[in-house]
Amino acid sequence: MFNLILFGPPGSGKGTQSEKLIAKYGLKHLSTGDLLRSEIANQTPLGLEAKSFMDKGQLVPDEVVIGMISSALDNNPEAKGFLFDGFPRTSAQAQALDNLLDLKKTGIAVMLALEVTEEELVKRLLKRGETSGRSDDNNETVIKARITEYHNKTAPVADYYKNFEKVALVKGEGSIDDIFGRLCEEINARAIAVN
């Protein structure tokens, strides 16, 4: 199995690049943001709980997202690898992911970390907010709260993977295709098992 984490602050292009990477490498895409928005759309109890955090720009509690990822792993026994998009976002999530993958006798091959300036992040998210209907995108205060959550709780997750020399920093500014090319170079340098 080849498993990778696409990492970066809100609006760094994780969702955008994930679509292209799964098409090229045939990995199963697991986006906690997408899973949570689907729960909200279906008005499930989990979705209603998650919405109250997401609307304020806060992270959803660890046990909620870890449970979702655990079920998604169990529901895809045939996957040849997973692309984790927006997960893990806290050190507790990173530890839980390692434990879940250990049970499947696999692990993370690489964390690709997109680097984008804060000014560019805010610009991109406000622009998406004009059309996306996402309540967490159309308010600059909420966007800034998301970025603060990222610095406080999520950025340390990269240090966790740096201990295992698994982090590749990738410039996340420029054209979508150029960034995709940089990500593919990093994967191809590591991924003997990916076709």
- Name which position in 2, 12, 82, 97 contacts ligand B4P (CB under 6 A): 12
Q: Which of 21, 65, 111, 170 binds ligand B4P (CB under 6 A)?
A: 65
Given 14, 51, 124, 166, the catalytic residue: 14
Is the preceding omega at residue 61 within 30 degrees of 0, hence cis?
Answer: no
Contact pick of 128, 144, 182, 190 for ligand B4P (by CB under 6 A):
128
Nearest-CB residue for ligand B4P: 33
What's the closest the beta carbon of residue 193 comes to ligand B4P, in angstroms? 25
Is 182 a known active-site residue?
no
Token code pair at residue 124 = 């991109």
Q: Which tokens hold the place of 100? A: 């879940």
124 carries an active-site annotation: no
CA–CA separation, 158 vs 154, rounded Å?
8
Active-site annotation holder among 24, 104, 134, 153: 134
The answer to whether residue 190 is catalytic is no
Using CA atoms, how far apart are residues 122 and 128, in angstroms rounded to an integer? Answer: 10
Rounded Cα distance, 160 and 65, in Å: 19
Confirm whether 144 is a catalytic residue.
Answer: no
What is the number of alpha carbons within 13 Å of residue 121 lying toward its C-beta? Answer: 21
Residues taking part in catalysis: 14, 89, 128, 134, 146
